[in-house]
Amino acid sequence: MKKLFFIVALTTASFAGFAQDKSAETKKLNFSVGVEAQLPIGDFADGYGFGIGGTVQADYRVADQIDLTLNAGYITFSGKTIDLGVISFKNDALGLIPVLAGAKYHFSDNIYASAQLGLSFASGSGSGSNFTYAPGIGFKFSKIDVLAKYTGISATGGSLNTVGVRAAYTF
């Protein structure tokens, strides 16, 4: 886990070297800190409830309408009680650490499409990593960035799917 955070910090620091002193709308490198709310769907919703967390993201402008993105954070989902008739049990909360890279395509100054790929790490002991993808549509107004997205996480025996919103402050 320490290695993961070190890699994210090193990458973010590397991006910072390219930062220019311009407004958030015109500079090549932007950072954002956001709050995420996610709602499990499909089979994932049977065992887990609402998810909330925070993320940090770096956006690097590579062309007129295209940004490359690097995103990392922590999201926790509440466990639900599962009743099997004879017995019932409550799932523990599930913590996920997504680390994603991707791109944004800006249709206009305010509207963009986003696609990210990467890994999500469960925060429990002995947990591994799972392939994660997250397409979405976003709206940016001044320093506020709001993204509606679908997230799919490949897991043993199926997938964990959510729909969610990220609201972030860009600097």
Q: What is the pLDDT of residues 123-151, one digit of tens each?
A: 875 578 999 999 999 999 999 999 999 99
What are the DSSP calls for 112-153, one per residue?
EEEEEEEEEEESSTT--EEEEEEEEEEEEETTEEEEEEEEEE
pLDDT at 2: 53
pLDDT exceeds cutoff 80 at 16? no
Residue 6 lies in a domain: no
Q: Number of structural domains, the chain?
A: 1
**pLDDT higher than threshold 50 for residue 22:** no
Query: Is 2 part of a structural domain of the chain?
Result: no
Place of tokens 């290695």: 3
80-100 per-position pLDDT tens digit: 999 888 999 999 999 999 999
Residue 18's identity, in one-letter code, is F
Residue 25 lies inside a defined structural domain of this protein? no
Element (H, E) at 82: strand 81-83
CATH number of 132's domain:
2.40.160.20
**Could you tell me what percent of the chain has a pLDDT over 90?**
76
Note whether residue 14 is domain-resident.
no
Query: What's the pLDDT tens digit per position in 95-111?
Result: 999 999 999 999 999 99
Asked whether residue 118 is assigned to any structural domain, the reply reads: yes
Residue 18 lies in a domain: no
CA–CA separation, 74 and 91 (whole Å): 19
Provide the residue range defining the domain that includes 84: 30-170
In-domain check, residue 23? no
> Does any domain span residue 74?
yes
